[in-house]
Amino acid sequence: MGETGAGVREGQVAEQRDQGATQQIAAGYTTEGAAVELGTVVVADEVDPAARVRVPLSMMNRHGLVAGATGTGKTKTLQLLAEQLSAAGVPVLMADMKGDLAGMCRPGEDGDRIRARARDTGEDWRAEPFPVQFLSLGTDGVGVPVRATVTSFGPVLLAKVLGLNETQESTLGLIFHWADSRGLPLLDLKDLRSVIQHLTSEAGRADLVGLGGVSPATAGVILRSLANLEAQGGETFFGEPELDVADLMRQEDGRGVVSLVEIGALRSRPALFSTFLMWLLAELFHELPEEGDVDRPKLVFFFDEAHLLFADASKAFLAQIEQTVKLIRSKGVGVFFCTQLPTDVPNAVLSQLGARVQHALRAFTPEDQKALSRTVKTYPTTQHYDLAKALTSLGTGEAIVTVPSETGAPTPVAWTRLRAPHSLMDAIGDDAIRQAARESSVFGKYAETVDRESAYEMLAGRVASEKEAPAAEQPERTDTQQPEEGFFEKVLDNPAVKSFLRSAGTVLGREITRSVFGTARKQRRRR
């Protein structure tokens, strides 16, 4: 009896100690303002429904990382975050790589597992849908077509998509510079191809005197890369009408719209997908005003499969990502990277990510163990967990969490049992997505491709005009000769001339203001 009593007392002491640790951790997540609820604290395999783990809404623009091995619940964590941001009126942009986030537009399905998770997290769970707009890269997908012009995309991002080396990227930059300076809009891939072919022709080489040249070998590499991109569906992405980022920042009935971008036919070019998201981030950086500290972000951006963005990236490219992530916070935009390992994200970028939601890691190989050790070092010290052991012991839907508190200081490390999403955690099928896309308020704006006069047509017209001999020699003008009254007015009223001047003026302005990633800062054309 004595030994039994001692064991009971030791168990009670251990339980009190664990409860004290739970409350101590939860105290670090106390907020006065609105917050995104993640879940509840777990200590010694015991969950306390009253010990809440939350992210202050005002800190969601301090950026974050959601990481973990395949099958550990990363996608559902993204869904959970997106739902609560939407409910708070914050628009969200997400990549739907596998199509399993589409269910957000429908209410979730109740069940024993959902009810058990709701008890653990102290939540009154209810099924509900959220406002979703479905977008697709290019015109071959099932969502609203999303496009970008070549000139707006810029040489640095395009070089990343094409897999060019630094020399080839430099040559591509020269090609963009020449097209900009000559008022030749590069709207789609045929425009870029025609400019490259012109600059490597006998007539075009003279145009680059004083600027350097485009070697046939380098031009050949770029043209072959363009051909591969076209063959894999890239020609349907580059063109007009270009996506207006204002359409990503909408609300419906007070809820932020969740924009889900699917890769569609470009699945074989995942680098284009991740680079397109970076282009969007650069567009937001250009167009949004400075906000400073905000009560809630204006938009939260989720980069799924983030390793694709950083793989084989040049130092200059990584430096621009670091700068953009660092500065866009002041525009009220939050950025979350989602990947399997924190080591997929360069240290310079990782240091900018305030919130960490780390799902289970595998440690089967020496490389895995090294990554585990490095991950542990990115967390604040904790007396409550052996992090190396905890990170390999997490269950599905559990994560090791630390986030910025309302004062900006890191919260205590918390083993967290995450809440269940309220919307459907499943795909809904292409037909349902296609129907929803056609019912979208922005579908009419982007449904049809516009092919206006651009570099391809202008260069073709130039070649044609050079082949035509003048019908008669024009008399030499004398100083006393005056143009026919209204001559200039007639010329300027010509629709073709108006189109050329508008294009030339727009592109010249872009060249002057190219900055982040060489993307074009521009005034939106009203259509």
Q: Rg of the chain over CA atoms, in angstroms?
A: 28
Beta-strand pair 46-56/35-43: antiparallel
Instruction: Give residue 210's pLDDT.
Output: 61
Within a domain: residue 1?
no
362 with 395, same domain? yes
Tokens of 282: 């650069």
332 with 278, same domain? yes
Classify residue 362 as exposed, middle or buried by CB count within 10 Å of its CB (0-12, 13-18, 19+).
middle
Within a domain: residue 467?
no
Within a domain: residue 526?
no
278 with 407, same domain? yes
pLDDT tens per residue, range 92-129: 999 888 888 999 999 999 999 999 999 999 999 999 99
CB 121, CB 38: distance < 8 Å: no
Within a domain: residue 8?
no
pTM (2 decimals)?
Answer: 0.85
Within a domain: residue 254?
yes
Within a domain: residue 7?
no
335 with 435, same domain? yes
Percent of the chain predicted with pLDDT > 70: 84
Within a domain: residue 494?
no
| DSSP 8-state code for residue 30 | -
Instruction: Give residue 188's pLDDT.
Output: 95
Taking the CA atoms of residue 269, residue 271, residue 273 and residue 279 in that order, the dihedral angle to the nearest 10 degrees is -140
CB 286, CB 320: distance < 8 Å: no
Which of residues 423, 446, 469 is at a domain's end?
A: 446
Region of residue 62 (phi > 0: left; psi between -120 and 50: alpha; otherwise: beta): alpha
CATH at residue 409: 3.40.50.300
**Cβ contacts of 422 within 8 Å, gap of 6 or more:** 83, 107, 108, 125, 126, 127, 128
CB 187, CB 152: distance < 8 Å: no
Which of residues 402, 417, 446 is at a domain's end?
A: 446
Q: Is the per-residue pLDDT at 523 higher than 80? A: no
Give the number of domains in the chain. 2
Within a domain: residue 20?
no
Length of the chain: 527
302 with 346, same domain? yes
311 with 390, same domain? yes
177 with 298, same domain? no
174 with 257, same domain? no
328 with 434, same domain? yes
430 with 505, same domain? no
* Residue-number span of the structural domain to which 275 is assigned: 29-147+249-446
137 with 156, same domain? no
pLDDT tens per residue, range 267-326: 677 778 888 888 999 899 888 999 888 899 999 999 888 888 888 887 878 888 899 999
440 with 511, same domain? no
Which of residues 430, 446, 462 is at a domain's end?
A: 446
